[in-house]
Amino acid sequence: MDTENPFDSMDQDIRAAVEGLIYLGELVEDIEFCGHTFGLKTLRAYEEMAAASVVEKFRNTLKEPEAWAAAQVGLALTHIDGETDFCPSVGPDQSAFAKARFNYISQKWYWPTIQFLYNEYTRLQSKQLSAIRAVQDLSNRSLPTSSSFADSLKKQDTSGDETETEIPGSEF
């Protein structure tokens, strides 16, 4: 049975647009700290939800903010000094993965390292938001204005007079 990837058969321009939507908001950055390199990425929604489930037992305690920071840093880390398998693998379950990363960070690191990386992560989130706003602004500027759009719907008939082009489905 031949299973062709439908993504491969898309027009190149359409494919680029779809890829842009898939990765919209994804940023990855290397951070240097005290002689080490840490890779950080922006988190997807399901990763943030997994981080929230990990810190549930810290809700309404004095350490809730620190637990939240550790959970997000743990999931945002892509590598430490180039090593991607710095934390023992626990399988594909996102909640178990989030808990393993949280335990690794909170049990092996001191707060100043977590705090530094969390501050860098929040800076990356701000950069993400700025980038998305810039893409949105660009999208808004590239939309046709109502008058130019309306003008594009006019065509000349055989006598040279302009006529309106009917838009399919506009009869409602």
Summarize pLDDT for 10-64 with one digit per residue, the tens. 677 776 666 666 777 888 999 999 999 999 999 999 999 999 999 999 999 999 9
Residues 54 and 102: their CA atoms lie apart, in Å, by 7
Summarize pLDDT for 51-96 with one digit per residue, the tens. 999 999 999 999 999 999 999 999 999 999 999 999 887 878 889 9
Summarize pLDDT for 128-159 with one digit per residue, the tens. 888 888 777 777 766 655 555 445 545 555 66
For residue 105, what pLDDT band results from cuts at 50, 70 and 90? very high
Grouping H, G, I as helix, E, B as strand and the rest as coil, residue 86 is: coil
The amino acid that residue 98 corresponds to is A
